[in-house]
Amino acid sequence: MEKPMSSPMPRIVVLTPVFNEEDNLSRFEADVRETLLDRTDADYSVIFIDDGSADRSWEMIEDICRRDTRFKGIRLSRNFGSHIALAAGFNYAEGDAVAVLACDLQDPPGTILQFVEHWRAGNQIVWGHRRSRDETIWRSLSSSVFQAMIRRFAMPRGSSFTTGSFLLADRKVVEYYRQFREHNRITFALVAWTGFRQATVEYDRLGRQAGRSGWNFSKMIKAMYDTFVGFSPLPIQIITTAGAGTSLFSLLLGAYLLTNWLFGNPAQGWTSIMLAISSFFAVQFMLLGIMSQYLYRIYTEVVRRPLYFVSEVVNVGVEAP
């Protein structure tokens, strides 16, 4: 069933986080203009969110926006991270649907046209699923493991999510997304958590043509950690299981040592005892670290600091409350 539209020309807003992308912006502008903006079946616009770039990215964004008002710009006061930058973009986006597109063009802009087709058919969230990727074997494998673990332990059943943020969300999803206030956020996880009818579009991910990617192994681990702590009971289950396991081991070890002592064969030396004590301390500190992460996140949310600060805007309307 086709999605009813309030106007014959649906408005599609494309959000593009930017961090030190001066080498990619000109090519991005040309590709997006040719692929999306010049089409007549929908009213496309692009919102750049400059996440505290240290190069000429913002100056280039201003120039692009002056030449074409379909391009819009938001400049954050400093680097808050790509997921917070996207939160700012969602708050400023005024459209019937909102898509997310990386500035490096590894995700082809033309795939958004397929997103829109699925959206018109009634799907409220459309995900881009990487059929192939121009990456090293290690990076591809680690990303696959990351996605499999999150799908198994953190995401709602039946979700068609992917761990990238190449997606399109209906206006209703965007309005619900704006209600999320947490600082430690992962965009795809929050969008997937809303539920709604979903579809997937497969595409071939391209290699990066210019600049350096800010996504690395340590950031992937942090994203996994944030997702598990924010959406899965697994860390608490690990704490409970580890606590029960170490308690059982302590009881068995104590029973073994007591039995040997009663039968006149006390344990000789302290090697085994010290090894057991060291193991217990290691487990305790690991569990304490997990609990500390929960406490830190609770503190971060309780103080209710703003998610971001906007220093400049170009061609955009009023931010949603």
CATH code at position 167:
3.90.550.10
* Predicted model pTM: 0.74
| Residue with the larger pLDDT of the pair 296 and 208 | 296
Q: At residue 168, what are phi and psi to the nearest 5 degrees? A: -135, 135
Angle at 296 between CA 290 and CA 298, to 5 degrees: 110
DSSP 205: E
Residue 91 has pLDDT above 50, yes or no: yes
Q: Are residues 280 and 190 in the same domain?
A: no
| Residue with the larger pLDDT of the pair 292 and 226 | 292
Mean pLDDT in residue range 156-183: 81
Residue 2 has pLDDT above 50, yes or no: no
Q: Domain for residue 262, yes or no?
A: yes
Q: Are residues 146 and 262 in the same domain?
A: no
| Residue with the larger pLDDT of the pair 283 and 54 | 54
pLDDT digits (tens, 9 = 90+) for 127-158: 988 776 656 666 666 666 766 666 666 666 65
Q: Are residues 290 and 240 in the same domain?
A: yes
pLDDT at 1 (0 to 100): 43
Q: Are residues 76 and 141 in the same domain?
A: yes
pLDDT at 255 (0 to 100): 76
Q: Are residues 309 and 293 in the same domain?
A: no
Residue 171 has pLDDT above 80, yes or no: yes
Structural domains counted in the chain: 2
Q: Domain for residue 320, yes or no?
A: no
CA distance 182 to 135: 32
Q: Are residues 123 and 238 in the same domain?
A: no
pLDDT at 165 (0 to 100): 78
Q: Are residues 227 and 288 in the same domain?
A: no
For the chain, what is the mean pLDDT? 80
pLDDT band at 73 (very low <50, low <70, confident <90, very high): very high
Mean pLDDT in residue range 254-263: 72
Q: Are residues 203 and 256 in the same domain?
A: no
Phi-psi group of 196: left, alpha or beta (phi > 0 → left; psi -120 to 50 → alpha; rest → beta): left
Percent of the chain at pLDDT exceeding 70:
72
pLDDT band at 185 (very low <50, low <70, confident <90, very high): confident
Give 93: exposed, middle or buried? Use CB within 10 Å, 0-12, 13-18, 19+: buried
Q: Domain for residue 1, yes or no?
A: no
DSSP 307: S
Tokens at 215, concatenated: 């996504």
Q: Are residues 187 and 213 in the same domain?
A: yes
pLDDT at 6 (0 to 100): 47
Q: Are residues 245 and 190 in the same domain?
A: no
Residue 4 has pLDDT above 50, yes or no: no
Q: Domain for residue 4, yes or no?
A: no
Distance spanning both ends of the chain, measured CA to CA: 33
Strands 125-133, 198-205: pairing kind:
parallel
Q: At what angle do helices 271-302 and 217-231 cross, to 10 degrees?
A: 80
Q: Domain for residue 159, yes or no?
A: yes
Q: Are residues 209 and 258 in the same domain?
A: no
Q: Domain for residue 144, yes or no?
A: yes
Domain region containing 244: 234-302
Q: Domain for residue 111, yes or no?
A: yes
Sheet holding 198-205, edge to edge: 198-205, 125-133, 167-170, 97-100, 11-18, 43-50, 71-76, 310-314
Q: Are residues 185 and 240 in the same domain?
A: no
| Residue with the larger pLDDT of the pair 152 and 286 | 286
Residue 96 has pLDDT above 70, yes or no: yes
Q: Which of 34-48, 153-167, 226-240, 298-312 has the highest mean pLDDT?
A: 34-48
Q: Domain for residue 6, yes or no?
A: no
pLDDT digits (tens, 9 = 90+) for 14-71: 999 999 898 889 999 999 998 998 887 889 999 999 999 999 999 999 999 999 999 9
Cβ atoms within 10 A of the Cβ of 74, count?
A: 28
